[in-house]
Chains A and B, each alone.
Chain A
């Protein structure tokens, strides 16, 4: 059974870079797109971007200028970096799986809360 687990600092200072990792266990990382999605009371649920095992990425234009998603096949992990964070970036961040050629998210991690504060 495939499971996703987010990890990373729960507190980030304003203007710094938010870095999170999603560990994929129990299945192949090759056959899906792997997304980052966040949820906050103010902005609701937002798709940030995805990566394929080959390294190809697709980012939401809302985050394009600040986001980098990368993959480490050897560790079965993919990662999110979001630069120049502000209080508006405080949210629960989820990693999620997206089947190829299907535009839904069929498996989600439990999520990790990120607070932005000095």
Chain B
């Protein structure tokens, strides 16, 4: 059971918009700690996708966006493409366990 909760899977057709939620608590997201998102393509290491809740590293398309409200955060992907098919993880800091923590991951399937 991860401290940050994500849906195990989401899916969408090419061109559509999908969102992935990341639910936390008052000891992590709700306290104000930033949320970061990673994309993990099959057989590769996670890659930073969104940092500081809403910021995209250089090279990440603006089809990817992040938001945060209260004890939750979301990753939105618009204009779905086949190569967006991957696992997505949220990450934050948790003061109860004094560690950086990751969500359980969400597998995105492009139909």
List chain A positions with a Cβ less than 8 A from chain B. 44-47, 60-62, 94, 102-111
Contacts and interface: CB of A to CB of B under 8 A. Distances in A.
Contacts of A62: 97, 99
B93 A45 contact: no
Interface residues of B, number: 26
A44 B51 CA distance: 20
B45 A44 contact: no
Contacts, number: 56
Contacts of A60: 97-100
B23 interface: no
B46 A45 contact: yes
Contact of B91 (A61, A104, A109): A104
A100 B64 CA distance: 25
A44 B102 contact: yes
